[in-house]
Each structure stands twice: as C-alpha cells, then as structure tokens.
Amino acid sequence: MHYDQFSQNAATYIYRERERERERERERERERERERERERERERERERERERERERERERERERERELYFVWYNLPCCSH
C-alpha cells in the first residue's frame, strides 16, 4: 500500500474512533442527566409524601380538638 493511502486510512480511522468516543461520552452524559432527573423526581415524590404526612397530622390534630371540644361541651353545665 502506498504511504499516502496508509496515512489517509490511519487518519480516517483515528477520526472515526474519536467520533465514536465523543458519541459514547455524549451518551454517558445523557444517561447522567436522565439519572439526575430520576433523582429529582424521587425527591419531589418524597416531598409530596412529607406534605401528605403533615396534612394527615394536621387532620389528626383537628380531630383531637373536635373530640376535646365535644367532651368539654358535654360536661355538666356547672363545670364550665
């Protein structure tokens, strides 16, 4: 094979390898971004669950207040 042809083939090979490596790196970056998005979604879900728990706690507190009021309201009149 002529040297110029060999040199051209080598340059083409190197170029293509570099392109493939850049594409692999882009794919790895896309995968990292997808993982970050999944983590953000998990965090949003944890926050929603914490908010639901806070709401359940507030509802339990309101229920306790209603029960106490009911007991107080139904005490004999001279007690309050």
Look over the chain and give the mean of its residue pLDDT values, rounded to a whole number. Answer: 92
Q: Report the domain count for the chain.
A: 1
Closest CA to 68 of 56, 52, 80, 55: 80
Residue 79 has pLDDT above 60, yes or no: no
What is the rounded average pLDDT of the residues 17-38?
99
Domain that holds residue 14: 3-79
φ and ψ at residue 48, rounded to 5 degrees: -60, -40
Q: Model confidence at 72, in pLDDT bands (50, 70, 90)?
A: confident
Residue 3 has pLDDT above 80, yes or no: no
* Helix (H/G/I), strand (E/B), else coil: 9: helix
The pLDDT of residue 6 is 83
φ and ψ at residue 59, rounded to 5 degrees: -65, -40
Residue 4 has pLDDT above 90, yes or no: no
Are the beta carbons of 39 and 31 closer than 8 angstroms? no
Residue 63 has pLDDT above 90, yes or no: yes
